Chain A
């Protein structure tokens, strides 16, 4: 199958800190890749390099055939094809849920207001929040905010969605709704890269699990393989640790 994401030899330095030390990641169309690893191993940095929120220090990144690191690439156009969901939701507090979703539809896709709002409503409906369209982020629960954030990204019909610990900031009882929205997205055939500690979700939904440590991919494979019979000692130690929680 065609790869949507091809990242090769990604390096990232923050000053003297060598955070990514040659990471390769390929994600096939409709694949859900789950990225795990200890805190500080570089998972967020890797995701953020993929849509160039961080500038990699070296390597090659292609997303949907677009060379992300080429100076001539129109980065704003390229980012339309890459949805991102953040740990802290990052909804615009001065706009309603509908306004949050419609903003890029109007400004980036240049849709007329009516069409943008129609599409925004449809996206909110997909995450089960049609009745919250007029609410401001401050009037929504964390779980609802994160679903709006998912709708905001999905409304642009990206080719791949990046999730950076989408449920880590949520109270446990709100995690389910967000995972449900992600599951439905997956079933609709969306290509996804998910950084998360939700092992249950990984076991149920992931095609492949990638374990990172110290800026390198240590091990990867099917969820049963990585979780059930990890080859590397570091992977075993990490999985033991999170299974205790």
Chain B
């Protein structure tokens, strides 16, 4: 066997691929569901925290900054492991899926809060003053004048950060969630052949390449004339 044949037999083995493809497809579905749940919860919580922070209540803001820094400092894998292995000791048992979802949602919340907050503070003070001077209240001003402008500036960093954190769904394999990587690893151990990993990589590409392209499109779409 030449080197290439050996490589192909290991990583591009058609028989193994056919056998484990269904598992990878299932894992793909699970990754998509997990990712969507993380994005929905993480971004909603991040935006909510940024809005609360803009109210300017000191003790509340310290609390927010503490939580945000905590989840930005901890490696996501540590947070997942803590929720999965640590919480049962506290009498609260989470499934691997729930632990991964909660952990990564909190991480995305932390990073997106910072990005939303930076966006809100980047909107000139004059925008607030113009709206408030016409009798608009704080929340309508935030919602109709400030956030639309803030969101436009936040979309590029937010897209990048969201993609980066969503890729961490692979970490859920550590807590026995059969998402793409989990399914691929299972395939490798049962089939004694790493081809499922190739399938896994392909699955990640199929999933994230369009997301990256979409991110690009959103970036240009949201650039507007000043």
Give 1 or 0 for each of A62-103: 1 = CB within 8 Å of chain B CB.
Answer: 000000000000001111101110101011111000000001
Residues A90 and B224 in contact, CB atoms below 8 Å apart: no
Residues A156 and B135 in contact, CB atoms below 8 Å apart: yes
- Bound CA span A157–B169, Å: 56
Point out the residues of chain B lying under 8 angstroms from A86, CB to CB.
126, 129-130
Point out the residues of chain B lying under 8 angstroms from A137, CB to CB.
226
Residues A94 and B149 in contact, CB atoms below 8 Å apart: yes
Residues 113 to 134 of chain B near chain A (Cβ within 8 Å): 124, 126-127, 129-134
Given contacts A76-B135, A138-B225, contact A93 B149 (CB under 8 A): yes
Residues A91 and B152 in contact, CB atoms below 8 Å apart: no
- Bound CA span A137–B149, Å: 13
Residues A93 and B226 in contact, CB atoms below 8 Å apart: yes
Given contacts A92-B145, A94-B224, contact A104 B152 (CB under 8 A): no
- Bound CA span A238–B224, Å: 43
Point out the residues of chain B lying under 8 angstroms from A153, CB to CB.
133-134
- Bound CA span A17–B145, Å: 32
Point out the residues of chain A lying under 8 angstroms from B133, CB to CB.
51, 53, 79, 82-84, 153
Give 1 or 0 for each of B140-153: 1 = CB within 8 Å of chain A CB.
Answer: 10001100110010
- CB B139 to nearest CB in A, in angstroms, measures 11
Residues B224 and A93 in contact, CB atoms below 8 Å apart: yes
Size bracket, chain B contacts: 20 to 34
Point out the residues of chain A lying under 8 angstroms from B130, CB to CB.
84, 86, 90-92, 149, 152
Residues B226 and A104 in contact, CB atoms below 8 Å apart: no
Q: Is A136 an interface residue (CB 8 A)?
A: yes
Residues 130 to 144 of chain A near chain B (Cβ within 8 Å): 136-139
Q: Is B88 an interface residue (CB 8 A)?
A: no
- Bound CA span A204–B226, Å: 35
Point out the residues of chain B lying under 8 angstroms from A152, CB to CB.
130, 134
Q: Is B136 an interface residue (CB 8 A)?
A: yes
- CB B138 to nearest CB in A, in angstroms, measures 9
Residues B140 and A94 in contact, CB atoms below 8 Å apart: no
Q: Is B191 an interface residue (CB 8 A)?
A: no
A-B contact pairs, 16 of them (CB 8 A): A53-B132, A76-B137, A77-B135, A79-B132, A82-B133, A86-B129, A90-B124, A90-B126, A90-B129, A91-B130, A94-B149, A107-B136, A107-B140, A136-B224, A149-B130, A156-B135
Known: A90-B130, A104-B131. 6 other contacts (CB 8 A): A82-B133, A83-B133, A90-B127, A93-B226, A138-B225, A152-B134
